[in-house]
Amino acid sequence: METGVYIVGTPIGNLEDITARALRTLREANVIMAEDTRHTGILLARYEIRTPMVSCHKFNEARRFERIQSEFAQGRSIALVTDAGMPGISDPGARTVRMCREAGIPVWVIPGPCAASAAVSLSGMGDAGYHFEGFLPHKSGGRRRRLEELSHEPVPVVFYESPYRLIKLMNEIEQFVGPRQIFVGRELTKKFEEGISGTPAEIRASFEKRTVKGELVVIMAPA
């Protein structure tokens, strides 16, 4: 392996969703920087990979760059992973990539699953492009402002959302955006994977008799 940083995509649920190149990179790297070493430990154990890990999350990402510089100076290779999907997509990693580029440290990508693109494919709404929004702000005022801006998007808008806020988001879309078709991709690639399409009221109705659980991607169709 050439010395530098490898941005490695990892599964978003199903541990079989990992490329041969990702596994080889994780096996051959000198060190793996992981958002949560316990979480990534499950993946490494499954594939009998014994590469040492150190944590690299949003609270120590800037400090961890010193470690990357020192590993690079010794001619070593570093793999960077997050808990799920692609690093730097609503996840730590983007800052590391920017700092590496500024410092002249080579960065490579080993593409893998991403919840947003998986949901767009499953929704059948992505043939004319889409806007990836990720997480909305938590505070009501900020959410309202952003949703009003996004109501003008001419393409579907992709959100990451917590199960605790799905019903709130359906109410907010009705109130601040107007009538829209929605797709919810839940627990993608996992045992209880589900794709639900409908108006915000229909999405709410489908969760009337059960608690909203698991991980969700919400896609809002254009007007």
Residues that bind ligand SAM (CB under 6 A): 12-13, 82, 84-86, 89-91, 114-116, 160-161, 185, 187-190, 215-217
- Compute the least distance from the CB of residue 172 to ligand SAM, in Å: 16
Per-residue buried b or exposed e for 90-125, using 16+ beta carbons within 10 Å of the residue's own CB: bbbbeebbebbeeeebebeebebbbbbbbbbebbeb
Q: Which one, 71 or 113, has the nearer CB to ligand SAM?
A: 113
Q: Which one, 177 or 188, has the nearer CB to ligand SAM?
A: 188
Residue whose beta carbon is closest to ligand SAM: 85
Residue 173 DSSP SS3: helix
- Compute the least distance from the CB of residue 186 to ligand SAM, in Å: 6
Instruction: For residue 85, count other CB atoms closer than 10 A to its CB.
Output: 23
Q: Which one, 85 or 200, has the nearer CB to ligand SAM?
A: 85
Q: Which one, 69 or 207, has the nearer CB to ligand SAM?
A: 207
Q: Residue 195 pairs with which residues in a beta bridge? A: 185
Which of left, alpha, beta for 4 (phi over 0: left; psi -120 to 50: alpha)?
Answer: left
